[in-house]
Amino acid sequence: MLKKTMKVAVQFPTEENVLKYLVMQDIARRKSTAFASVVGYVGQKYPRFSNEDVHPVIAPGRTALAELKQGEIRQTIEESSNEFALIMFTQKGCRFCDVQKSILKFFTASYDWTVRLIDTDSHPDLSSRFGIEQTPSIILVHKSSKDHMPISVGVISLRELNARVYRSIKFLRGEVTPEQWFIYEFEKNAGSDPLKPVTLTRKEGL
């Protein structure tokens, strides 16, 4: 209704039409304030619908959250060195491949992982097997099952590399679903878990 009265006021800017628009705008502002207030009240009264338990809003909490995430990533990658490996597909004359190799060196310096470099021109069979069409490309391979997950195409940062490897490990292990791709272990069954059922008690209305 607000948009409708605004369009009329813009098309026919008479005193009457502009006044109707201002009245409707005032009503909308009051309704918005009322809605926001009730959301705040209900959210505080029923804290289980909040995700502040794992996503604090103040600076010290945000710092602790970042440390918790990075700690979980590091621990998961460190514990998976015997289970997974990385393969990076490169090509001669690929400047981006050289850049990604230098970034990958920081990964190998941090984790005792098997990282194999494969030249696509020398090993077209492997490139075809894993569906590699561009370089640089990095994939994660499960050593036992041989299941694999693409990690990146092109140059990515070390931080993003760690995060993608972490998520892919959790997925290939069957510990998360695609719906939980971005959540961490400490977030499961918390307010930010998309698969956590949300219910109301009979007293609350259901």
Mean pLDDT in consecutive groups of 10 residues from the start of the chain, 206 residues? 94 96 95 94 83 82 91 96 95 94 94 93 91 94 94 96 97 94 87 74 60
Domain assignment present for residue 203? The answer is no
> Does one domain contain both 22 and 92?
no
Q: Which of 198, 197, 145, 153 is nearest to 174 (CA)?
A: 145
| C-alpha distance from residue 48 to each of 68, 128, 185, 190, 203 (Å) | 21, 49, 18, 8, 15
Task: Tell me the three state secondary structure of residue 86.
Answer: strand
Give burial (CB, 10 Å; 0-12/13-18/19+) of 47: exposed
With respect to residue 27, please indicate whether it lies within any of the assigned structural domains: yes
pLDDT the model gives residue 97:
96
Our count of domains for the chain comes to 2
Q: Which residues contact 66 (CB under 8 A, 6 or more apart)?
A: none
Asked whether residue 97 is assigned to any structural domain, the reply reads yes
98: domain range? 82-175
Helical segments of 113-183, H only: 124-129, 158-172
Pull the structure tokens for residue 83: 């289970």
Residues 89 and 168 occupy one common structural domain:
yes
In this prediction, residue 53 carries a pLDDT of: 75
Whether residue 106 is contained in a domain is answered as: yes
Which pTM value belongs to this model? 0.79
- Residues 39 and 92 both lie in one domain: no
User: In terms of domains, do 86 and 171 share one?
Assistant: yes
